[in-house]
Amino acid sequence: MGILFTPSTPRSDSAQVHIIYNLNFTLYLMESKDVAIRFNDCINNHNLDELTKLMTEDFRFIDSENNGFQGKEKAIKIWKEFFVKYPEYQNIFDNVRSKGDITLFIGYSVCSDKKWEVKGIRKATVKDNRVA
């Protein structure tokens, strides 16, 4: 468990940086883009434990067909079922851009069910070092 500090002065590159001190007072810097990339890595590795740690309580998901859900507990249940049903699912991004707390991923998904093979842009919003 750590203490989160967000700098009051914006960085020149417009990236939001979170400074985290753990109990040993080791300094970690996490940009919103890094949090969003870690979140996607958890999806690609089907790592539900780490994915859970990276979600806000009010996490919101909207798919390419504009269907969605809200809430961390619901997300955990859905991701768990999804990982079992589609163990080969992967997101592949050609371009990742970030400004402030928003990260855009440009690319596609690979899956045995062609319904989930979607090209496009995904968006992640990061709040307090978690995807919202």
pLDDT of 63 reads 81
pLDDT tens digits for range 60-72: 999 878 889 999 9
pTM, 2 dp: 0.76
Q: What is the pLDDT of residues 35-46, one digit of tens each?
A: 999 999 999 999
Angle CA 119–100–96, to nearest 5 = 30
Over 90: is that where the pLDDT of 2 sits? no
Task: Please give the single-letter amino acid code of residue 2.
Answer: G
